[in-house]
Structure 1
Amino acid sequence: MGAGVVVCRPGELGAQEVLLVRRRSDGLWDVPGGGRAWWEWNALAARRELRQGTGLRVGRLGRLGVWGGPLQRQLSPDGETVDWTRHVFVAAYQGGQPVAREDAAEVAWWPLDALPAEVSPATAGYFRALRARGQPT
């Protein structure tokens, strides 16, 4: 079980940008997130993972959706293949400089309409849902 956050901000010329991290384990870009302890609320886990992975904090979280099954398959840091169920939230950027921490090799802002090709099918699904939803908050 895991949780993640799509952090959004207005970019140049009003285009929406999202924060992505490049995972050390497989080199793919993803939203900040990770595992959830059995006792954690999903939203609290998402906030914790965002802070641990990038150093950022956000305000209100909106639920984007829940994804699971083979599309959520990832390579864990210890080399095992894991199928996740992931609760994904969306939040507006509130400031601060994101920094790659823990299992993030790199962190960057990407225009929502020009995302990198190196994302998993599950991550691509998050962004389809975000585009269908519209504004983050």
Structure 2
Amino acid sequence: MRGDVVRYDAIKGYAFVASDELDEDVFLHVNDLDFDKALMAVGTVVDFTHEMGERGPRAVSASLISSPVADAVQAAMGGPSSRDGAAPASPAASGDQHDGYADVLSTAELRSEVTETLLSTVGDLTGRQVLAVRGAVEKMARRHGWLDA
């Protein structure tokens, strides 16, 4: 069954998922995620199985279909979102004027750029999610030599 996360509490570790197939929202605990909880946010789309509990439907397993957090990272990196499925354009096709070269940023500049992009793209991210995504992007940038030493 597929549904959209309509409420998420990162502190308490649970979410509610709305599905067209059920009359009520499904409770989802982060322990039942088949993906990193840092990718959870309102608007995340998941596939899940559920069972009826004492208080209503409860997801017992959830896998990621798309996430605003992952989409924000892709946007920050200039790639496609999980929703559009498009392949990234080549630098020439996208009008890139750097001819394959790009600025090397300081760590502080990268952190600022990533944070601003995340907050302007997905405004309901938690601080923990912003830090997790920013850390992953910074690690990747170091591996590729995109940061000053």
TM more than 0.5: no
Greater helix proportion: 2
Larger radius of gyration: 2
TM-score range, shorter chain: under 0.3
Relative to total residues, which structure has the larger strand share, 1 or 2? 1
* TM-score, length basis structure 1: 0.24
Q: State the structure with bigger RCO (CA 8 A, min sep 6), 1 or 2.
A: 1
